[in-house]
Amino acid sequence: MKACMLGQAAAVLLLSTVGLSSCAAIKATEQPDKRNMDVLNAGVPRTHVIAELGSPVWSDREVGTSVDVFAFKQGYSKGTKAARALAHGAADVATFGLWEVVGIPVESIADGTDVQLEVHYGPAQTVDHVVVIKGDKAVHPPKLFAWNHKRPKADAATTSVAETSPPRGNRHGAVVNTSHSAVR
């Protein structure tokens, strides 16, 4: 009789643990999506930038040029979110749900990177250059094995407007050259 009650209590505890757990796993899957920063390359149409980054928070048009300011969260790829959810689920099972004490705060803190950008367009309404106001590491993530990758020099025929025009900065001094070889 005691063995039966002990088994039932263990089953109830296990089911309640599984039922109450996975909050961190769910939060991991609900993190913001990763945006494609390749739309910031020189020559990309303004419509593609807006389609990827969303509506600008501010826009200004002058004769022949325009500027959009974007503010968004740079999130995570689907693979990264799935791996995090799987890790949280496994940790929940291994610790009988105690992982949630750690997992929920971790997912609350790791909710993406705030990014703010000024995107400057030329007369053809294509990207001329980009000024990063906030979130430079999200816009230009460090490359693995960058020491082993040598960038070819551009010749005069392939040099973009952003490479030939003088760098422009903002009050923070952050200037981004958005040639195809600079932003990846």
Last residue of a domain, one of 63, 86, 111: 111
Last residue of a domain, one of 85, 111, 137: 111
Domain count, the chain: 2
Q: Do both 151 and 132 map to the same domain? A: yes
Last residue of a domain, one of 111, 136, 163: 111
Q: What are phi and psi of 67, to 5 degrees?
A: -135, 135
Q: pTM to 2 decimals?
A: 0.64
Q: Do both 138 and 54 map to the same domain? A: yes
Q: What is the pLDDT of residues 135-165, one digit of tens each?
A: 999 998 888 766 655 555 544 444 344 444 4
What does the pLDDT read at residue 54? Answer: 96
Q: Do both 132 and 177 map to the same domain? A: yes
Q: Which stretches of the chain drop beneath a pLDDT of 50?
A: 17-18, 21, 154-167, 170-171, 173, 178-184
Q: Do both 26 and 36 map to the same domain? A: no
Q: Do both 54 and 135 map to the same domain? A: yes
Q: Report the b/e string of 50-86 with b at 16+ CB within 10 A.
A: bebbeebeeeeeeeeebbbebbbbbbbeeeebeebbe
Q: Do both 116 and 59 map to the same domain? A: yes
Domain around 146: 32-75+112-184
Q: Do both 46 and 3 map to the same domain? A: no
Q: Do both 14 and 51 map to the same domain? A: no
Q: Do both 68 and 126 map to the same domain? A: yes
How many beta carbons lie within 10 A of that of residue 100, not counting itself?
A: 19
Q: What is the pLDDT of residues 103-121, one digit of tens each?
A: 999 998 988 999 999 999 9
